[in-house]
Structure 1
Amino acid sequence: MSDLNILIVEGNIREDSEFFIKAAGASAADNLKNLILKLEPLANTEIVNPGHDDETMNALKNMSKYDGIVFTGGAMRINDMTDVIKKHINFAFNCLNENKKILAICWGLQVCSTAAGGKANPGKNGAHIGIASDVIINNEGQKHFIYKDKKKIFTSPAFNFDEVSDLPKNAILLSSDKVNNVMGVIFNVGNSEVIGLQYHPDYEYFQMLNLIAGRKERLFTNKNFLNEEEYQSHISYIKSEDELLNFKDRTCEVRNWLNYIKN
């Protein structure tokens, strides 16, 4: 295959994108685009925001040209079920009917799972605040190409308060951690294949630290941290993990997916 054509689905509304740009240096979609172009410099990428009806209509009309679709992370929460969230779910549902290879990250996984008949709810065991520790790849995951060259137990940037609580029909769980049972998963809907990750191979820890700082007041209000000492300890932990993480290890799932859709 020559140049890849990839559709990137923005997971944020405008206000949240402005926060992401300020804190992380790019919108969720642009951050993912930047990573894809580092891995595949000749790839053609287009960004669509499901909240904009004209963009989704145009993307669906031209769906045949895309080799793959990536749904990014975002700050919305499924159970709020606003009109915009319904548009995200509806667009995902339409994409699932288009015989596509889909990579769904964080919010994207929750949206695609909901569109496929699963459910997302607030995490029963808490939240990932900038980091997911000791994610374990199970036997099915070790056999799947998405985890090629990945350590069986790994730590990764992550930021989510919700989780996929009920998997779509016939889904296969690939990885889990102590916070979320569903960290990696694959499921088919019609002729479309979704690979979902509840963590962020597309973000670096310094970006997560900036997002945490920008949400600090909300994190204390929601009792994710009970005091400043606990907060600072968590920040120190992420900084220590930042020293251990390298680009190849962090991003291998995206690289593996890109190699897959090229074939």
Structure 2
Amino acid sequence: MALRFLVVEGNTRDGRAAHKASFGATYSESYAATLQAIMPDAVCDLCFPADEGANLPTGEGLASYDGIVVTGSALHAYDPEPAVARQIELMRAVYASGTPSFGSCWGLQVATVAAYGTVAVNPQGREVGIARRIVRTADGQGHALLAGRPEAFDAPAVHLDAVAAVPEGAIIVAKNDVGIQAAEIRHDGGLFWGVQYHPEFSLAELAAILGRMTGPLVAEGFCRSEDDVRSYVADLLALDREPTRGDLAWRHGLDAQVLDPLLRTTEIRNFVRHRVLPAKSERGRA
């Protein structure tokens, strides 16, 4: 029987439209495509809790899925706006459903706040482009979320906010010099795995996002000019088309952990293998 996933889009309608205009797909559509590349017969439903009046699953509806994933978002988990509050309440319902759940970036942040941890603007500043030298914590040694990753690795990343304090009982699985990068959170009978980076992002999707961030990238000193931003974006697009471009990989310090889709999506594959499939069997859905 095919796996059924719910992909929870973190962005507002305007945010979805902007990403689709520059990349050709929304975050949730792209995430669904990643899941279907891992499990070709997977069925993915999308939901949009940032939208007022959105028809959202609850209770038995959430429990009917084999896995739930939460995308990134341009929102801030500490803002008291309805688009954020709806997502926090949905995540609490996800925990209560017991369905295996996973999230990237915003997904980790909203899961943290839903379990009564805290998220804030990262005092280290923005982490953008590539998160460098992500390493396991002592508590994360041997954790299945990072099975197959080397001792230190890089991954696509775009975020200003970060987890400031994990909920009680959570395990910080990985960190780098910028902050918490991966965690396991147990709350109200549910278990969530999340990462601050974006294993689901291709370099083309990362390029589309950075191409919309010219102002901040220059203002915050990541690039000296708009031309520098465009050059970096062009290199990412070239590497996406031709990952064997050793010259560009060397120029930007990228290895197979970022360039190879099978390795880049390791955490999502581990979620399916170690959480979704065993839970499906335990629930008698095999």
Please give the TM-score of this superposition, normalised by the length of structure 2: 0.84
**What corresponds to 2:65 in structure 1?**
66
Counterpart selection for 2:261 from 223, 247, 251 = 247
| Equivalences for residues 151-162 of structure 1 within 5 A | 151-162=150-161
The question of 1:258 aligning with 2:272 is answered yes
Q: CA deviation at 1:230?
A: 10
Q: CA deviation at 1:138?
A: 2.3
Amino acid at match of 1:225: F
Q: CA deviation at 1:232?
A: 4.9
**What corresponds to 2:241 in structure 1?**
none
| Equivalences for residues 27-66 of structure 1 within 5 A | 27-52=26-51, 53-56=53-56, 58-66=57-65
Contact in 2 for aligned 1:100/1:191 (Cα 8 Å): no
**What corresponds to 1:24 in structure 2?**
23
SS in 1 for 2:141: helix
Query: What is the rounded CA distance, in whole Å, between the counterparts of 2:50 and 2:59 in structure 1?
Result: 14
Q: CA deviation at 1:225?
A: 3.5
Query: What is the rounded CA distance, in whole Å, between the counterparts of 1:252 and 1:89 in structure 2?
Result: 26
Query: What is the rounded CA distance, in whole Å, between the counterparts of 1:198 and 1:224 in structure 2?
Result: 22
Contact in 1 for aligned 2:69/2:102 (Cα 8 Å): yes
**What corresponds to 1:227 in structure 2?**
224
**What corresponds to 2:181 in structure 1?**
183
Query: What is the rounded CA distance, in whole Å, between the counterparts of 1:235 and 1:151 in structure 2?
Result: 26
Q: CA deviation at 1:235?
A: 2.8
Query: What is the rounded CA distance, in whole Å, between the counterparts of 1:234 and 1:243 in structure 2?
Result: 20
Amino acid at match of 1:209: A
- Over aligned residue pairs, what C-alpha RMSD do you find? 2.3
Contact in 2 for aligned 1:142/1:148 (Cα 8 Å): no
Query: What is the rounded CA distance, in whole Å, between the counterparts of 2:50 and 2:18 in structure 1?
Result: 17
Contact in 1 for aligned 2:199/2:265 (Cα 8 Å): yes
Please give the TM-score of this superposition, normalised by the length of structure 1: 0.90
Gaps of 5+ in 1: none
Contact in 2 for aligned 1:11/1:72 (Cα 8 Å): yes
Amino acid at match of 2:185: F
**What corresponds to 2:214 in structure 1?**
216
Amino acid at match of 2:66: D
Q: CA deviation at 1:224?
A: 4.8
Distance verdict in 2 for CA 1:96–1:247, change over 3 Å: same
Query: What is the rounded CA distance, in whole Å, between the counterparts of 1:255 and 1:201 in structure 2?
Result: 10
Query: What is the rounded CA distance, in whole Å, between the counterparts of 2:24 and 2:100 in structure 1?
Result: 28
Query: What is the rounded CA distance, in whole Å, between the counterparts of 2:91 and 2:169 in structure 1?
Result: 18
| 247-256 vs 133-142, which moves further | 133-142
Query: What is the rounded CA distance, in whole Å, between the counterparts of 2:54 and 2:71 in structure 1?
Result: 19
Q: CA deviation at 1:83?
A: 1.3
Query: What is the rounded CA distance, in whole Å, between the counterparts of 1:226 and 1:46 in structure 2?
Result: 38
Contact in 2 for aligned 1:24/1:208 (Cα 8 Å): no
Query: What is the rounded CA distance, in whole Å, between the counterparts of 1:162 and 1:224 in structure 2?
Result: 18
The question of 1:120 aligning with 2:119 is answered yes
Gaps of 5+ in 2: 237-247, 279-286
Distance verdict in 2 for CA 1:60–1:153, change over 3 Å: same
Q: CA deviation at 1:20?
A: 1.3
Q: CA deviation at 1:142?
A: 3.0
SS in 1 for 2:140: helix
Query: What is the rounded CA distance, in whole Å, between the counterparts of 1:23 and 1:224 in structure 2?
Result: 23
**What corresponds to 1:111 in structure 2?**
110
Contact in 1 for aligned 2:128/2:157 (Cα 8 Å): yes
Higher relative contact order (CA 8 A, sep 6+): 1
Amino acid at match of 2:55: E
| 165-174 vs 96-105, which moves further | 96-105
